Amino acid sequence: MSWGRLPTEPKVEGEVLPERRVVKQGRRFEGLNCLVTGAGRGFGQLIALALAREGGNVVVHYNTSADSALKTAKEIEGLGVKAYTVKADITRWDEVKQAVDKVWREFGPIDVLVNNVGDTAPGQMSWREITEERIDRVLAVDIKGTLFMTHEVGSRMLERKKGAIVNICSNVISTGSPRAPQYAASKYGVLGLTKSYAHAFAPWVRVNAAAPGYMETESLLSRPDWTPERRKWVVEHTPLRRIGRPEDVVPVVLFLASDDSIHMTGNVVVCDGGFSMPGA
């Protein structure tokens, strides 16, 4: 793989000049090893396949969806790249350590990590239904899980002085969530982790976040409170006048994972059709 130095002169003492990979048209991840959590189905699967289409070898992480993970891995291999599956409950640090050690040993070093797994408290329709169990579950998956994966993979990236991490956040960092306050709290936590590790791993490893809004996923469509009336209200209050699809957000994730965002770290890119457009 050839690399090209960015033309920046003069260089200040101690300054780090990034190197941009020279890649084929449309193959930004050629030869790179990528790990996507929760890649057996849904949004994670779409991200994994998109990385593979651009030349990335992909580790498909799963916890309970073994069959879906194997199916995704076969689809990835069908695109002419390598695939690997690994199981871990990301809320348990020991399992994350074991999984990452196994990936490094059997598959190879990871260049791109996408922390896709998150818990949206799907069974909770109102803040009045909040329980300590639901709070603990959401915070464990979103905050502890993202922290453990970022810490274990990112520290190894740092040793190699290369890598990119993308966390999946949410526009609730702007809007809040009256349905599930613990979900909003968890995504604020993901944003805090993004900025903290962006500092910790600089200048060698970039850490950014994508923050989708409503996406018409199977999970959203199956919720009892996602009524035609509510959908109509959301569309009317979204400047782009439509509900996002997972396919609309995947390109943002790939942008943050690639050298296209080479001068970005600690950033969050909100992609919700303007629903949470800031006032200033």
Q: What is the DSSP string of 134-170?
A: HHHHHHIIIIIIHHHHHHHHHHHHHHHT--EEEEE--
Task: Dump pLDDT digits (tens) for 91-142.
Answer: 999 999 999 999 999 999 999 999 999 877 777 778 888 999 999 999 999 9
* pTM for this model (two decimals): 0.91
The more confident residue out of 26 and 54 is: 54
Which DSSP letter does residue 26 get?
A: T
Asked about 62 being catalytic, the answer comes back as no
Q: Mean pLDDT throughout 189-210?
A: 98
Does a structural domain hold residue 236? Answer: no
Please calculate the CA angle 77-262-79 and round it to the nearest 5 degrees: 10
Does a structural domain hold residue 239? Answer: no
Asked if residue 88 has pLDDT above 90, the reply is yes
> Given this model, what pLDDT does residue 96 score?
98
Q: Based on the structure, what is the number of domains in the chain?
A: 1
Q: Which domain holds residue 165?
A: 26-215+246-271
> Given this model, what pLDDT does residue 153 score?
98
Does a structural domain hold residue 18? Answer: no
Look up residue 10 and give its two tokens: 């003069």
Task: Dump pLDDT digits (tens) for 215-238.
Answer: 888 778 888 888 899 999 999 999
> Given this model, what pLDDT does residue 265 score?
98
Does a structural domain hold residue 265? Answer: yes
Helix, coil or strand: residue 3: strand
Does a structural domain hold residue 17? Answer: no
> Given this model, what pLDDT does residue 66 score?
94
Asked if residue 4 has pLDDT above 60, the reply is no
The more confident residue out of 17 and 34 is: 34
Give the rounded percent of residues in the chain with a pLDDT score beyond 70: 95
Question: Catalytic one among 84, 183, 197, 214?
Answer: 183
Q: Read off the CATH number of the domain in which 168 is found.
A: 3.40.50.720
Asked if residue 207 has pLDDT above 60, the reply is yes
